[in-house]
Structure 1
Amino acid sequence: MIYQGDNLSVEIVEPGIAELKFDGQGSVNKFDQKTLNEFSSALDAIAADSDVKGVLVTSAKSTFIVGADITEFLTLFADIESTKTWVHKASRVFDKLEDLPVPTIAAVNGFALGGGCEAILACDFRIADETAVIGLPEVKLGLIPGFGGTVRLPRLIGPDNALEAMTTGKNHKPDNALAIGLVDAVVSSENLRDGALSMLRDAIHGELDWRAARTPKLQPLKANDVERLMTFSTAKGMVWAKAGKHYPAPHAAVEVVERGAGEERNGALLVENELFVKLAQTDACRAQVGIFLADQVVKSKSKKLAKQATKKISRAGVIGAGIMGGGIAYQSAVKGVPVVMKDIKQEALDLGLTEATNILTKSLKRGRISAKKVTGTLNKITTTMHNNELENVDIVVEAVVESPKVKTAVLSQIEKVVPEDTIITSNTSTISIDRLAESLEHPEYFCGMHFFNPVHKMPLVEIIRGKRTSDETIATVTAYALQMGKTPIVVNDCPGFLVNRVLFPYFAGFSLLLDDGVDFPAIDKVMEKDFGWPMGPAYLCDVVGLDTATHASEVMAAGFPERMPHHAEGAIAKLAAADRFGQKNGKGFYQYGVDKRGKPTKTVHEDVYEVIGEKQEAADKEEIIARCMIPMVNEMVRCLEEGIVASAEEADIALIYGLGFPPFRGGAFRYLETLGLKQFIELADKYAHLGELYQVTDGLRAKAEAGESYFKS
């Protein structure tokens, strides 16, 4: 044994060949600080052993190395100096691997991402099996590769391919990795080790020129001035079009390759270190790292909860077809759980089945699924107008019209049809679960299961616990949501639950701006272009449906009359009363249609002002953002304080996955902490005269005074 650490080892496996094997103490290999230190020591031991003629780098696990330990990032990035020290020291460890005086080869199985990818790039050769997934996803964390990836990858596969990989975070499967030169060979899993050893022996014996493979990675990028100009000009244009101004990491990925192109490895690595440190201090990086960590909290919690389920969902029922019901039925069927879709109207069933078919057809055309998968999924959806088809389902998702009277009648009827222990859920978006449970004989088997439209695209499912909902029911519904490929978050019951409860104060802030004469296209432009929402509040209202928004506003007003009174004379209610429902009938705040090429259009027609009145007052960007966002943040704080949601992490993921909250801002709580609690309070107090929605809670003031964070780490 040449070296033995807790997370990796080096031993001679045949004369002259040392195997550097990663075998972390956890379920996967990752580059935490301890592993990086051991990696450095192991490489020193190899370099000092004159008997070593070649090095094989392997993993003892089903994945190679998943990357750096992201849980350490927020601590490592606490200040510039600590970040500089860490990244400079860590990146030089990979240079040690590349500088070994003998040939090296990585045998790649499973995920080799981030630091894992950078480790194999530092080897002279790479061989992968059919399970390999290789990539540099750091951009998704608001970063660029920090262990030499921005230097080695462009020199290995060319700057065009490298920039596409780094600016998108796209992963490469074996065939694609081979095609672009990211790996040198692809073999079956059972032949991976033997194939790697064979190539390494060839390199040791001079049949493979390992020095020729290594040299280009040490030199300036091989491209003339014209080629570089074209490459980087094109890349900058593409990145700007996709990332815009809010995400600095993709822009930095282009800059680091461009600035380092004329440098040898060590000079280019200094550029990488510089830009990595700069990005690590940005709000976008902290937010995106925060999202990753919050997502891990949510996933861990839901998996633990699902393990407590004793009932397996083998067959589901959906009551109420149409677009939403069809989407839910599709999601269940495509993930392997057969579903019965029931409605009282054949045309609704046809619409629901068409929705499922359309989703599958689009996926088929894009090559994401096979024709066999399309047929198999559709065969798992049964449509019916008769209740008896539901007699053997394990769970029912009610998705009928958003009316307490209709829902309670349907739920009561269904309970009499299904077996006593069948779990019944409601896809209501605002109506209290406890109120709906009053119509049921067994409320312990009832809870909310709120999907977001379009169901197949939106990751979030809110699982709403009523006062009499059993723990077993919550565990089983959580397990079913995971089966469906969704991210479930359990919340407690209240009008609007979590996501819609905080959405309507946002709409209320928007409405107050309209009342003050600010034009809705100006508000949308600021909230989209400057704040970063995928759509502004007026556009979002149109997508939700102005009639639906008005109805939901009435429900919220009943629950929170002081804070969220229904604004009957507001623009949203006026447009709904004028039969301007939004996208569903082609006119709302905006007018919807198609152009000559059949592409959707969204325009402002003057007739909208005949309904809502002329809007001419100007407001600066910061005021528009403050007046829309303060009510949402305040309401989210109230939800946490009242126990509607259990943690800031779950709250942020709910907004990102359910509403499309701008990821570079990280969610309501991350946005609040980025602003600073005291600074947010000062801002909110400026608008406190506008009403309770703008008035912060005593709990928030106390937390600010104590200098505390809403996050656990």
Structure 2
Amino acid sequence: MIYQGNALSVANNGEGIAILTFDLKDESINKLSGAVIRELQEAVKAIQSEQGLKGLLITSAKDVFIVGADITEFHGMFAKDEEFLVNMNQEVHALFNAIEDLPFPTVTAINGLALGGGCEVTLTTDFRVMAEKAQIGLPETKLGILPGWGGCVRLPRLAGADNAIEWIAGGSQNKADAALKNGVVDAVVPAERLEAAALDMLDRANAGELNYQARRDEKRGPLKLNAIEQMMTFETAKGYVAGKAGPHYPAPVEAIKVIQKGAGEGRERAQAIEAKAFAKLAKTDVCFNLVGLFLNDQLVKKKGSKYEKQAAAVERTAVLGAGIMGGGIAYQSAYKGTPILMKDIKEEAIQLGLKEARKLLSKQVERGKLTTEKMAEALSNIRPTLSYGDFGEVDLVVEAVVENPKIKGSVLGEVEAQVGENTVLTSNTSTISITRLAQNLKRPENFCGMHFFNPVHKMPLVEVIRGEKSSDAAVAATVAYARKMGKTPIVVNDCPGFLVNRVLFPYFGGFSLLVEQGADFERVDKVMEKFGWPMGPAYLLDVVGMDTAVHANEVMAEGFPERMAREGKTAIQVMFENDRLGQKNGKGFYGYEEDRKGKPKKVSDDQAHALVKQVVAGQKEFGDDEIIARMMVPLCLETVRCLEDGIVGTPAEADMALIYGIGFPPFRGGALRYIDATGVAAFVELADKLSAELGPLYAPTDKLREMASRGESFYGDETRSTQHQA
């Protein structure tokens, strides 16, 4: 044994080949923590000292190669100054350069995921052999940083600037065939032949068949592009990527600039440029929040996995109510491999549901994500029916009929009599109390909420709602089914609107108050979109539908009358009463025309502005910051209340639900992280100022005041106070 550590070992295979194996003890994956990097430094020194070696093979003993750096260390590490971060990266550059400069050929056998720092490890060797099902990529820009361990230097020199820009700016995971086509790997083989193929490559390099020194020269020298080619490549890419990424995500464009600045330089100079840019991005609020988002997502997945392990198998399901929603649920289940019955009382509704599923599957075929054979297989997983004939065989039922408590209650009672004793019943309700819907059920312990967001195929969140009598088994089975469907389930407790809608409607309440006091709704939309929302509140209401919004608002007003009940009409009610339902009938706060792709495109509508004047009680000018405060404070406060009331278990789950459910700007990290960034005390002060004028919707809770007085935050040590910019 040449070297033995906790995360990696190096052994001589008896033929002069050093085999460096990553195998992090007590973990299911390999990741590059600070401790692992220190071990790699020791291992490389041991390799350099070993006599008689004629090659190095880097491999993994786990199902993955290396998933990247240990992101749990990022917040603590990035809190240090830029000089520390530059020096840290330069230390890793020195280590990776030492691997690249070993006096014999080197190869990496990529058996599974090789992402981020894991991908950068593979780029240090002369050659790369990849298993057919492995994936590789540099996803750092998704965390608000850029590849800092040589990715911006080596990848362009191996794959060409265009390919490198696409991989790095997009942050994608790439399959083996794409990696081979782009020149990132040298061979793709079945997994069982991976090590043999890698060793063969070393033999061929030592025999002079493969020129490993030429490969090194290519990686260590400048990019082979003349001045005009550089300008064409980089300037075009910067414009395109800036448009795609938007103004709130600087990392993708910064990565292109780093590749451009380093293009004419040798290895070390280019790496110094990369290290400096990495350090600068690591200190931004965007990076801090996106790293926090990743950690929150990991926590949510861990909780989901825990429920899944406790769940009974869900192998056959059913959806009640076809139509668009039922068809969307049926599609998602069938596409992900769980057969589903789709029942309705009307044949035309069944046909509508099948049409929706067929349309969504056809789009997957058009995009090349599905073969026609796989589409046929998915469609065969959907069995339309007008009767309860086969319901005795299903493990879980999703009720997705109209949002009416009497109708839902009746349908649930009816289906309960048709299913097995252990079948889990769920309701896809967005507002109606699960405890209330369970009142007439004989087995309320088998019942919980399963709230999908529209459109089902696009929205990642599913709220799993625990009623007063819902059992752990019912909740676990529902979480397991949601995960099987490719969704992110978050378990919440029952209350009007549950978590997401309960938090969303105070935001709409803030909007209604602004409009009443004279704010132009189109300007409010522009300000909130500039703030980072995918659409402003008026546009969002048009997408949700005014009838849905009015109904949900009534539920909220009944449940939380002190802060959500309103006297007099709101702009939303005026739209509803004038049959301006939004996108569904082509007119709401905006008018709608079809664009070239046949999708609704909003246009300003004078009639909408005239109708809104009915509710305008004053004429006040609002600055952008004031609009943001008036919109965000009620939403954030309701999130706080949901956490305090035990509706949601943790700040991480609350923030992830808002990001996945209503498109809260990811780079701002979620409502509770937004409060932390503002500073709890500063946020309470702002809320008090607004509530003095606008009432209970803006009033902080007692517990939030206590947190402010004690200098506490929702995320504890992770928090750093920053100033949000509009």
Q: Is the contact between residue 236 and residue 254 of structure 1 (CA under 8 Å) also seen in structure 2?
A: yes
Which letter maps to 1:675? T
Query: How well do the aligned residues superpose, as a CA RMSD in angstroms?
Result: 1.5
Q: 2:709 aligns with which of 686, 701, 705?
A: 705
CA drift at 1:207: 2.4
Q: Does residue 128 of the first structure (1) align with residue 127 of the second (2)?
A: no
Question: Counterparts of 2:707 and 2:99 in 1: how far apart (Å)?
Answer: 48
Q: Where in structure 2 are the equivalents of 1:69-88 lying within 5 Å? A: 69-80=70-81, 81-88=83-90
Equivalent-residue separation in structure 2 for 1:259 and 1:567 (angstroms): 61
Counterpart Cα distance in 1 of 2:713 and 2:68: 28
The one-letter amino acid of 1:702's match is E
Structure 2 Cα separation of the partners of residues 4 and 155 of structure 1: 33
Mapped partners of 1:263, 1:673: distance in 2:
42
For residues 292-322 of structure 1, what are the alpha-carbon distances to aligned partners after superposition, in whole Å with 9 as ceiling and x for unaligned? 111110111111112112x322221211111
Superimposed CA distance per residue, residues 220-251 of structure 1 (whole angstroms, 9 cap, x where no aligned partner): 22211111111111111111110111001112
Amino acid in structure 1 at the alignment position of 2:696: E
Q: Deviation of residue 595 (structure 1)?
A: 4.5
CA contact (8 A) 2:9 2:21 kept: yes
For 1:644, the aligned partner's letter is I
**Corresponding residue for residue 631 of structure 2:** 628
Structure 1 CA distance, aligned partners of 2:713 and 2:635? Answer: 18
Q: Are 1:648 and 2:648 matched, yes or no?
A: no
- 2:665 aligned residue: 662
- Aligned position for 2:351: 350
CA shift, 1:140, in A, is: 0.7
Q: What pairs with 1:341-490 in structure 2 (closer than 5 Å)?
A: 341-490=342-491
Contact 1:444 1:468 in 2 (8 A): yes
The structure-2 alpha-carbon separation of the partners of 1:149 and 1:476, relative to structure 1 and needing over 3 Å to count, comes to same
Q: Secondary structure at the match of 2:463?
A: strand
Q: How do 1:588-627 and structure 2 match up within 5 A?
A: 588-595=588-595, 598=598, 600-613=600-613, 617-627=620-630
**1:267 equivalent in structure 2:** 269
Q: Secondary structure at the residue paired with 1:106?
A: strand
Partner of 1:173: 175
Instruction: For residue 673 of structure 1, report the CA deviation from its aligned partner.
Output: 1.6
Aligned-partner Cα distance in 2 for 1:365–1:331: 17
Superposed counterparts of 1:140-289, under 5 Å: 140-289=142-291
Q: Show CA shifts across 1:464-516 (max 9, x none).
A: 00111111111111111112111111000000000000000011111111111
Shift of 1:183: 0.8
Secondary structure at 1:387's aligned position in 2?
Answer: coil
Separation of aligned partners in 1, 2:462 and 2:110: 36
Q: Which residue of 2 aligns with 1:18?
A: 18
Secondary structure in 2 matching 1:650: helix
Q: Deviations over 1:552-600 (max 9, x none)?
A: 0000000000110146511001100111100110000111122467453
- 1:572 aligned counterpart, secondary structure: helix
Q: Is the 8 A contact 2:676 2:715 kept in 1?
A: no
- Alpha-carbon separation, structure 1, partners of 2:620 and 2:282: 40
| Corresponding position of 1:696 | 700
Query: Identity rate of aligned residues, in percent?
Result: 56
CA distance in 2, matches of 1:568, 1:371: 55
Q: What letter corresponds to residue 487 of structure 2 in structure 1?
A: K
Provide the rounded CA distance (Å) in 2 between the counterparts of 1:135 and 1:313.
Answer: 34
Q: Tell me how far apart the structure 2 counterparts of residues 710 and 90 of structure 1 sit (CA, whole Å).
A: 34
Deviation readout 1:179-203 (Å, 9 max, x if unpaired): 1110111122222111111111221
Write the distance in 2 (CA, Å) between the matches of 1:2 and 1:620. Answer: 67
Please tell me the residue identity of whatever aligns with 1:564.
Answer: M
8 A Cα contact 1:40 1:96, kept in partner: no
CA distance in 1, matches of 2:511, 2:358: 37
Counterpart-to-counterpart distance in 2, 1:42 and 1:140: 31
What is the CA distance between 1:551 and its match in structure 2?
0.6
Distance 2:598 2:540 in 1: 22
Moved over 4 A (4+): 595-599, 614-617
* Equivalent-residue separation in structure 2 for 1:42 and 1:255 (angstroms): 34
Distance 1:84 1:260 in 2: 16
1:435 is displaced (CA, Å) by 1.1
Letter in 2 for 1:677: V
Question: Does the 8 Å contact 1:673/1:709 carry over to 2?
Answer: yes
Distance 1:414 1:134 in 2: 47
- Aligned pairs for 1:316-327 within 5 A: 316-327=317-328
Structure 2: how far apart are the matches of 1:482 and 1:185?
Answer: 34
Whether the aligned pair in 2 keeps the contact of 1:28 and 1:66 (CA below 8 Å) is: yes
Match of 2:5 in 1: 5
For structure 2, the 5+ residue unaligned runs are 719-726
How far did 1:206 drift? 2.4
8 Å CA contact retained: 1:567, 1:573: no
Aligned with 2:358: secondary structure?
Answer: helix
Counterpart CA distance in 1 for 2:695 and 2:104 is 72
Could you tell me how far apart the structure 2 residues matched to 1:677 and 1:128 are?
Answer: 49
- 1:472-511 equivalences in 2 (<5 Å): 472-511=473-512
Mapped contact 1:17–1:55 kept (Cα < 8 A) = yes
Report if the CA contact (8 A) 1:92-1:147 is conserved.
no
Q: Which residue is 1:89 aligned to?
A: 91
Match of 1:587 in 2: 587
- More displaced, 3-12 or 612-621? 612-621
Secondary structure in 2 aligned to 1:294?
Answer: helix
SS of aligned partner of 2:630: helix
Aligned position for 1:536: 536
Secondary structure of the structure 1 residue equivalent to 2:363: helix
Distance 1:710 1:91 in 2: 36
SS of equivalent residue, structure 2 residue 13: strand
Return the offset for 1:408. Answer: 1.4
Given that 2:402 and 2:408 are in contact with CA atoms closer than 8 Å, whether structure 1 keeps it comes out as yes
Q: CA deviation at 1:88?
A: 2.8
The separation in 1 between residues aligned to 2:273 and 2:705, in whole angstroms, is: 43
Alignment match, 1:298 = 300
Cα gap change, 1:118 to 1:7, in 2 (>3 Å)? same
Give structure 1 stretches of 5+ with no counterpart: none
Deviation at 1:204, TM superposition (A): 2.0
Letter of the structure 1 residue corresponding to residue 699 of structure 2: Q
Q: Determine the C-alpha separation between the residues in 1 that align with 2:708 and 2:232.
A: 51
Name the amino acid aligned to 2:536: G
Alpha-carbon shift at residue 439 of structure 1 (Å): 1.8
Distance in 2, matches of 1:312 and 1:152, equals 46
Give the counterpart letter for 2:18 in structure 1: A
Is the Cα–Cα contact under 8 Å of residues 397 and 425 in structure 2 kept in the other structure? yes
CA-to-partner distance for each residue in 1:233-283, whole Å, 9 max, x for gaps?
111111111011100111210111111122211111111111111111111
Are the equivalent residues in 1 in contact too, given 2:449–2:464 (CA < 8 A)? yes
CA contact (8 A) 2:583 2:600 kept: no
Q: SS of the counterpart of 1:440? A: coil
| Equivalent position of 2:103 in the other structure | 101
Letter in 1 for 2:637: N
Candidates 680, 683, 687, aligned match of 1:684: 687
Q: Which moved more, 1:635-644 or 1:151-160?
A: 151-160
Q: How much does 1:440 deviate?
A: 1.3
2-side partners of 1:222 and 1:335: how far apart?
A: 45
Q: Distance in 1 between matches of 2:398 and 2:17?
A: 60
Amino acid at match of 1:105: V
